């Protein structure tokens, strides 16, 4: 190439890059005018959510950060309620998380009673020094007074920007209105009020037949900073089941590992992850009081369904996601080892970008298995995309054709199965692809 040609090409490149920046800005503007881009993996609509007897919800606008949408949610659980929960294990967890952990410990031995929850979006009240806990206490005291519930039975969760003081007066100023507005029918509004970078509201419910019908209805928010180490998002699930608190707590902890702790968007763990599950005990049934009560398994089945559904909705709203990926690992030394290998694959930027590019690049899966630190027999490794056998015994399968893999990767819901050939441990985890849109969202989130 001559010097003149090169200079001309470089000038054209600079001009085209400038045009690209302009076009990107215009697209972002149109998307904002349309109310933000909704994930292509979003469900068609927020589901019908059956009311939970004994539960009332309200949503409102406190202006914590967002100017023209609801950003605060109040929940009231009637007399006879118990609460269970799991939280982020981050060493820098936020003040509301510390508050909830303490309340849960204190209430584990307490009788059932009324319970309240306040949630705000836009400010996480994390890394806010001693002021952080003072803000929680101010909101909890005021909300307890508004509801007529002692503050020791009040819970709080906050999500949004880290490191800025929570303007808690804006929340307390709205508590009277919120209390006034409490209703059994407010699931959609409550689910919307707790969103941050979410592109759709997330709800799920199940009915379980025990003595009579038991309802389980919940909602969640979460889209970025999602990685397994507890719930990694905010989740609130309610049921009218009558169940002893220790049994509910044990079920929640166990099911969290199979659902919310098995999903990852970007390997980043939030300082604010909170899952609260409240049971009002209003269903027509004898309470479940013993671990060998056969109804416990049926209830757990319904609860798992709701938790799994909400967890997958979070993956499907992963920042910039265009594909959901289910990764099943078998043949590992243990179930835990299988989960670690699954997460090494699910968190690998090279795997996630290959999925985004619809590239059946199974070599990157081999790489991720290798870096997981868990035992794997390189010469027994097998990989499947859906039903397609891609690799076996440590090499590409004789029957595999690249065009089959490429066609499979064009789908929206992908299943990758890996057998590592050393034992009987297995696990399934879920993630989404890594696209330019993730970068856009996160390079501009705060500014």
Active site residues: 232
Angle, helix 362-371 to helix 349-356, in steps of 10 degrees: 160
Rounded to whole angstroms, the Cα distance separating 117 from 35 reads: 28
Tell me how far, at minimum, the Cβ of 419 lies from a copy of itself, in Å: 13
Cα separations in angstroms, 329 against 149, 229, 396? 47, 19, 18
Return the residues of window 239-268 that contact a copy of itself according to CB under 8 A.
266-268
Per CB under 8 A, the list member of 2, 3, 4, 34 interacting with a copy of itself is 34
Per CB under 8 A, the list member of 20, 173, 207, 289 interacting with a copy of itself is 20
Is there binding between residue 343 and a copy of itself (CB under 8 A)?
no
DSSP symbol at 170: H
Rounded to whole angstroms, the Cα distance separating 46 from 199 reads: 12
Is there binding between residue 134 and a copy of itself (CB under 8 A)?
no
CA angle centred on 116, ends 110 and 117, rounded to 5°: 120
Rounded to whole angstroms, the Cα distance separating 85 from 104 reads: 7
Is there binding between residue 367 and a copy of itself (CB under 8 A)?
yes
**Using CB under 8 A as the criterion, what x/- string covers residues 264-293 for binding a copy of itself?**
--xxxxxx----------------------
DSSP secondary structure of 170-202? HHHTTHHHHHHH-BTT-HHHHHHHT-SS-SS-E
Return the residues of window 51-70 that contact a copy of itself according to CB under 8 A.
none
**Using CB under 8 A as the criterion, what x/- string covers residues 164-203 for binding a copy of itself?**
x---------------------------------------
Tell me how far, at minimum, the Cβ of 45 lies from a copy of itself, in Å: 17
Rounded to whole angstroms, the Cα distance separating 403 from 55 reads: 53
CB closer to a copy of itself out of 316 and 340: 340
Cα separations in angstroms, 261 against 115, 131, 288, 292, 361? 26, 30, 26, 26, 26
Take residue 163 and report the two structure tokens written for it: 């490191």
Return the residues of window 369-428 that contact a copy of itself according to CB under 8 A.
369-376, 378-379, 381, 391, 393-396, 406
Rg (CA), the chain: 24
Tell me how far, at minimum, the Cβ of 63 lies from a copy of itself, in Å: 20
CB closer to a copy of itself out of 8 and 291: 8
**Using CB under 8 A as the criterion, what x/- string covers residues 214-243 for binding a copy of itself?**
----------xx-x-x--------------
Rounded to whole angstroms, the Cα distance separating 224 from 264 reads: 9
Return the residues of window 283-342 that contact a copy of itself according to CB under 8 A.
none
Take residue 377 and report the two structure tokens written for it: 């027999």
β-partners of residue 207 are: 215
Rounded to whole angstroms, the Cα distance separating 203 from 200 reads: 10
Return the residues of window 75-114 that contact a copy of itself according to CB under 8 A.
88, 90-93
- Per CB under 8 A, the segment of 156-164, 174-182, 202-210, 294-302 that binds a copy of itself is 156-164
Per CB under 8 A, the list member of 290, 349, 401, 411 interacting with a copy of itself is 349
Tell me how far, at minimum, the Cβ of 273 lies from a copy of itself, in Å: 10
- Per CB under 8 A, the segment of 48-56, 60-68, 306-314, 362-370 that binds a copy of itself is 362-370
């Amino acid at each position: 190439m001559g010097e003149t040609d090169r200079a001309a090409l470089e000038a054209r490149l600079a001009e085209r890059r400038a045009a690209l920046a302009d076009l990107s800005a215009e697209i972002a503007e149109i998307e904002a005018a349309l109310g933000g881009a909704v994930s292509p993996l979003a469900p068609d609509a927020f589901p019908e959510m059956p009311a939970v007897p004994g539960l009332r919800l309200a949503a409102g606008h406190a202006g914590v950060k967002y100017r023209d949408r609801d950003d605060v949610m109040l929940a009231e659980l009637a007399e006879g309620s118990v609460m269970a929960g799991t939280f982020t294990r981050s060493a820098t967890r936020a003040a509301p998380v510390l508050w909830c952990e303490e309340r849960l410990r204190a209430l584990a031995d307490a009788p059932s009673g009324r319970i309240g929850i306040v949630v705000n979006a836009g400010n996480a009240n994390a890394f806010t020094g001693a002021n952080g806990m003072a803000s929680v206490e101010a909101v909890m005291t005021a909300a307890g007074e508004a509801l007529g519930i002692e503050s020791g039975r009040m819970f709080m969760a906050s999500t949004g920007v880290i490191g800025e003081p929570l303007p808690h007066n804006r929340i307390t100023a709205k508590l009277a209105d919120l209390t006034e507005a409490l209703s059994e029918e407010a699931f959609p509004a409550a689910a919307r009020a707790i969103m941050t970078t979410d592109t759709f509201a997330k709800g799920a419910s199940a009915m379980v037949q025990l003595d009579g019908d038991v309802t389980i209805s919940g909602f969640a928010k979460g889209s970025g900073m999602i990685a397994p180490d507890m719930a990694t998002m905010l989740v609130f699930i309610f049921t009218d089941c009558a169940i002893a608190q220790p049994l509910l707590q044990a079920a929640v902890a166990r099911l969290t590992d199979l659902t919310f702790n098995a999903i990852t968007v970007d390997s980043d763990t939030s300082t604010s992850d909170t899952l609260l599950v409240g049971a009002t005990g209003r269903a027509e049934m004898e309470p479940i009081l013993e671990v060998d009560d056969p109804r416990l398994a049926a209830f757990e089945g319904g609860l798992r369904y709701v938790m799994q559904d909400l967890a997958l909705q979070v993956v499907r709203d992963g920042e910039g996601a265009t594909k959901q990926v289910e990764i099943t690992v078998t043949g590992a030394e243990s179930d835990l080892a299988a989960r670690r290998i699954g997460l090494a694959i699910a968190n690998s930027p090279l795997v996630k970008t290959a999925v985004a590019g619809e590239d059946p690049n199974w070599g990157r899966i081999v790489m991720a298995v290798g870096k997981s630190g868990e035992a794997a027999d390189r010469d027994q490794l097998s990989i499947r995309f859906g039903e397609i056998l891609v690799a076996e015994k440590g090499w590409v399968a004789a029957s595999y054709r690249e065009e089959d893999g490429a066609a499979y990767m064009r789908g929206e819901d992908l299943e990758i199965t890996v057998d590592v050939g050393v034992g009987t441990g297995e696990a399934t985890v879920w993630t989404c692809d890594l696209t330019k849109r993730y970068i856009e969202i996160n390079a501009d989130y705060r500014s």
